[in-house]
Each structure stands twice: as C-alpha cells, then as structure tokens.
Amino acid sequence: MPDLRSLSELPKAHLHVHLEGAMRPDTLDELCARYRIDRPVDTRGRRFTDFGGFNALYWAATHCLRTREDLARLVMEVAEDAAREGVRWIEPAFDAERYSTLRAEGPFRLFEDQTEGWRFVFEAAEAAERATGVGIGFMSAIDRTRALDSAMARARVTAALVRSGEHLIESGMPDFEGRHPALVAVGLHGNEQGHPPEPFDPAFRVALEGTGLLCTPHAGEIAPAPGGGPRSVAGALDALGADRILHGVLAVEEPALVARLARAGVCLDVCPSSNVLLSVVPSLREHPLPQLLEAGSPARSGATTRCSSARACSRSTRCADQRWSSATSISPGSPGAPSSTAPPPPRSRPGRSPTSRAGLERTAEWSRPFMEGLGFHGAARGGCPVSCRAVARGAVSNEPARAALVERVFGRPG
C-alpha cells in the first residue's frame, strides 16, 4: 500500500507547544555549561511520578536563558525544528513576566516590563519566519500557580498589545504577504493541582473582550483535586469560555461532558506521549484519545515539550499512529456519539459568539488566505485551519480512510 506522503512532508500546525519546553536538549546542555548551571537529570523517555519533576526541568530551561540573544536563539531554533517536521504554523506559549518582573531582584533581568519582553519576541518571531517560512502566533501564558493579581496584570498587557496593533508582524511565510497577528491566544498554564480555572475568570474577561484572541487554557490533564478532572474541563468551558482546551483527556471520565465538547466543537489539544511521561495514563495502550475521537470530540496530537520527552511533532504523531493505526473514523460528530441532555450554552462575552464553533469561524478569518496559500483548505478551528489532528487521526493503515481524510482536510483528493 503506497504512502500518501511521509509524516514530515504532510503540512501540519503545532498548537500545543511551550516555548522553553521546546528547547533542544543539546541547547540546554550548552547553556547549562556556559552559565555553570547544574543540568537536570536527562529525563527523555523516563516517567515523572508527579508534575514537580517535570516542572523542575522546565524551569531549568527557563533559567538558562540569561541574555536576549539566548531567547532569540530559542525562538529561531523552535521554528527551525518545526520546519524540519513539515510544520507550517506554530503557537508557542510564552510568559514575558519570567524575563522581566520575576527577575527584578537578580542580575539576569532581560526586560523592564512584560510589554518590552513581548515586543522583543515579536521581533524574534518575525526574524524566525523570514529564515524558516514557519508562521508563528504566540499564546500569552497565564501562570495559574501565581497570585491572581499577576494574572490580571498579564491580561491587561495582552489586551493592550492587541488593541495597539503591536502584535502584528510582517509575514515571512512564502505564500502570504503582509502582516499577521503574532499573538493569537490566551492560555492558563502550570500545575492544575489546587488551581482550578474558575478564579481566573476576571483576568480572562479582560484579556479576551474585544480582542478576538482565542481562549486556550490547560484543563483536564492533572485534576485540581481527586476526581476533579472533568470539573476542571467544565470550568474551562463555563468560567473561561474555552475555544480549545490543552489536554482535556480527563473529560473521558464523564461521557456527558465529552458529548458536550463534541457538540460545541471545542478541540482538545492532546499530547499522548506527555500524558504517559507525566503518569496521567499508565501507557499509550490505555490512553483515552481513541475514545474521545469515537465519541465525536475533536482532538489534535501535539508534543507539548521537547526537552523532557524528546518527541517532536511528527514523532508524537507517529507514536499515535503506531498505537491506533486500525482506527478509521475521521469525522468529529460521527454516528454513534453519545447523546445527553444539552447543558446551558457557554457564557457569551461582548464581541464573542456564545458557541465556540461560530466564534472561531470569525476570529480565525484572517488566517484563511495565507493558510490556503500554504496548501490548507477547510473551515478554521483555532489559530489556523488545520492541525496535527489531521495526521494523528489520518495516518491510518486503512487506505480509503486516509484518502477521505486528506480530501476532507485539504479540500482535494489524496
């Protein structure tokens, strides 16, 4: 059976990636040696017993960025790695506070404030796009483990950047000329344990109202409290108005919630290998991604971090392909999705649709022309029209299913 194309050649968008977490292991080694920082134990391929071990490695990568040149290098290398994987669009999560006010008492403060930090990474993204042709749209990452006034400060900075137009950069993508947003979403990151989404409602209102940014919080990865995984996902929908949910796999524990996600078209940005490494699931064999897809819930496969798992986008996708290659269902909302009593519609905000599906159609309108020029066709979902879900679910051994997926996603026969 001939392959339609290799995974690295298939155009993809990587929508669940943390900027510092995507640091190359070799770069982490080099920077640790340069600044005489103890390099954390190499955990690639190993499992963490809790979120703390993973978080320590992530912060080590952050502490290694001691100059603006280090940060610009990271942005460039993340784009270079994406290009090698056939990724055309990435949405890295970034937190400018880590390089400004949180370093106020130390010698390695890179920026006076968050706004200056964001301006710098926009310039770095513009340069990386010119060099690689990969489009970049950042996610403003609110740290759920910090005080709520920190979240509100982040929200105000984020909204101000969009309203001023400072988030627009010149495209370096070969098939799109002009300017595009380099800030496309607001996320909620960090350890979920003890930090549910509901208290961040006021900050998300400030960041989202009138800006057209997408709401993309982490939820349903590690329960805020025992048995609270589905509640965390529901809270992201009800309190924050999530357009996409990063992870969300614990929603599978409540079939009515999965059905709700399917009806609303709220996509789960799932990272199967990361879920195994963080002991969210015992193994890929027991990962709930097939159940979510079979229930009609849209889902994408991503790599989230590279320095801990050593999985780039196509490798993460290949991992999913090898585990679930017998799957043939490719359509969200497919027959057989469980039915349940419809819950109240998600809360609407001024300038935003009360349903995710309609809201995304409007907020992603700017992306259609250049993504179609890159070879993507179809309805927009998230910051760009096509995602790694195309290959996570479509690189299957059943040839008719593969051909149908290519035609569905790309708008032309495979």
**The token pair that represents 275 in the structure block:** 């879920």
- Phi first, then psi, for residue 139 (nearest 5°) are -110, 125
Q: Check if 221 is active-site.
A: yes
Point out the catalytic residue in the list 221, 286, 365, 407: 221
Distance of CA 265 to the CA centre of its chain: 16
In the chain, how many H helices and how many E strands?
15, 12
SS3 317: helix
* b (16+ CB within 10 A) / e for 30-54: ebbeeeeeeebeebeeeebeebebb
* b (16+ CB within 10 A) / e for 104-120: eeeeeebbeebbebbeb
The whole-angstrom separation of Cα 160 and Cα 155 is 9
Edge-to-edge strands, sheet with 244-247? 218-219, 244-247, 267-270, 299-301
Specify the amino acid at residue 109: R
In Å, how far are 151, 199, 225 from 194, measured between CA atoms? 16, 11, 6
Annotated active-site positions, please? Answer: 221
